[in-house]
Amino acid sequence: MKKEIEQSLLHSFTYPEYRAHIAQLLTEGMATGHEQNADLVHYSELNQARMHRLDKTIQVLPEVVDFFSKLTIKQLWVVLAEGWCGDAANCIPVLHKIAEGTSLIDMKIILRDDNDAVMQHFLTNGARAIPKLLILDAETLNVIANWGPRPEPAKQLILDYKATYGIVDETAKIELQKWYLQDKGIAIQNEILKIYEQIHV
């Protein structure tokens, strides 16, 4: 596991680098990942706009700022993502805002399709669902905890929709996006804070 993470970090991105990488691919009519089609490019374009908006509007909760200002152990956050993923676009800017509030957290983003050896350790119900945040000790690269692929209320929204209609279609995706817009990153922050309170780092 440690070896796979070390390998993945050789091709990792900071958040600004991740944004720039997606933008560059879009100029070539491409998306991140091993599959290419017009839908993935379209979703990537939408996600660039979403991340741009979130970069300007996300506010870190005071209790989150206070908690992370008191960290004592240096950590590495590794986030598995792809540019076309709507959940990643809504979650990663929030994670970035939290991480940049302390010098003790270094956040790196790795692409899921290029790092399947890591992804296979963190499947969600057998699926390669993203984004996935891995919280590691920066010195040992031991995984302390993980989070993802979406906040609990968003997860429930999709489960309820699928139970009612039998599928997850474009209407479900629109409802999910509305939820993210209304939540403003609060659920993610609270869930990350809860994880940290449990692991006592």
- Domain ranges, residue 144: 2-149
Query: What would the mean pLDDT of 155-169 be, rounded to a whole number?
Result: 95
Percent of the chain with pLDDT over 70: 99
Domain for residue 92, yes or no? yes
Distance CA(92)–CA(142), nearest Å, equals 22
96 part of a folded domain: yes
Cα–Cα distance measured from residue 18 to residue 49, given in angstroms and rounded to the nearest whole number: 14
Domains in the chain: how many in total?
A: 1
Contacts of 60 (CB under 8 A, 6+ apart): 97, 98, 101, 189
**Whether the predicted pLDDT of 201 surpasses 70:** no
- Please give the structure tokens belonging to residue 133: 């945040």
Over residues 133-150, the pLDDT tens digits come to: 999 999 999 999 999 999
Q: Count Cα neighbours of 31 within 13 Å in the Cβ-side half-sphere.
A: 23
Angle between helices 186-199 and 86-99 (to 10 degrees): 60
Q: Is residue 145 part of a domain?
A: yes
Q: How confident is the model at residue 199 (pLDDT cuts 50, 70, 90)?
A: confident
Assigned domain for 63 exists:
yes
Is the model's pLDDT at 103 over the cut of 80?
yes
In which region does residue 166 sit, left (phi positive, over 0), alpha (psi from -120 to 50) or beta (all else)? left
- Cis peptide bond N-terminal to 62, omega within 30: no
What digits encode the pLDDT tens for the residues 29-78?
Answer: 999 999 999 999 999 999 999 999 999 999 999 999 999 999 999 999 99
Distance (Å, whole) CA 171 – CA 140: 44
By C-alpha distance, which of 91, 74, 73 is closest to 82?
91
CATH number at residue 15: 3.40.30.10
Q: What angle do CA 92, 94, 100 make, to 5 degrees?
A: 100
Q: For 94, how many CA atoms within 13 A lie in the half-sphere containing its CB? A: 25
What is the spatial distance between Cα 197 and Cα 201, in angstroms, rounded to a whole number? 8
